[in-house]
Structure 1
Amino acid sequence: MKVTAWNDGKKTYGIRVGIRNRDRFFNKSWRNIEVDIEGSIYQFKLTPGFWKHCPEFRDSVKPTIREWLEKYNLVGWPKRKPPRFELVQIDNNKFRLEKYKISL
């Protein structure tokens, strides 16, 4: 599925999956998901807002997503033009985040 980077305008970063992808690939019984980012597995909590109006998973304690974006110099994108990625479902609540035609 195609996804984009997300930022709250401050220090929190995440991956926006969008409502259609959320409804198609995510199960409301899941409290969290596991995401493989370049061979390392990270766990992300799915907040109650994920199921309402904020279909993104976010960095919580450790800035994993922000650090990954910084690695590729993708922090600070132009307004309404976030970097795009591919989120591949591996099994149930397990996914792999991949670079996809990185664009700013």
Structure 2
Amino acid sequence: MVVTGWNNGAHSRHGAGYGFRVQTADRDAFFQKDWTSIQVELEGEEGTVDIALPGEAFWSENGAPLVSPAVGRWLRKNGLAPWARGNPPTFILDPIEGNRFRVRKAPRQRPAF
């Protein structure tokens, strides 16, 4: 599934306030309401990051982002944050098994001519 970078507007150097925005259709297809967190493998990093699911807000009509300072540090380390307003980077979030996922940078698309 394709997800986008998310930030609360603060762009902290320490990674706070960063995460991923999941489309509601993907949320409904790949996430389960009884999960309280997910485990995410970040491309190029060892181990996983535990990201808490924001409860009812995540399952609301508009959804809520998956937020973690570890994600923010990874974005900044890889030159993916901060980004220009309204132009967040895109990623591929692959389900692995259960509540475990892998995230990788989406390939850059060539402009259409």
CA RMSD of aligned residues (A): 1.5
1:23 corresponds to 2:13? no
What letter corresponds to residue 59 of structure 2 in structure 1? W
Larger CA deviation: 36-45 vs 81-90:
36-45
Q: Structure 2 unaligned runs (5+)?
A: none
Instruction: Give the counterpart of 2:59 among 51, 61, 72.
Output: 51
TM-score of the superposed pair, with normalisation by structure 1: 0.87
Counting strand residues as a fraction of each chain, which structure ranks higher? 1
Q: Structure 1 unaligned runs (5+)?
A: none
4+ long deviations beyond 2 Å: none
Is the contact made by 2:54 and 2:64 (CA closer than 8 Å) also made in structure 1? no
- Structure 2 residue aligned with 1:71: 77
Between the two proteins, what is the percent identity of the paired residues? 37
In the TM superposition, residue 102 of structure 1 has moved relative to its aligned partner by: 5.1
Aligned length: 100
What letter corresponds to residue 96 of structure 2 in structure 1? I
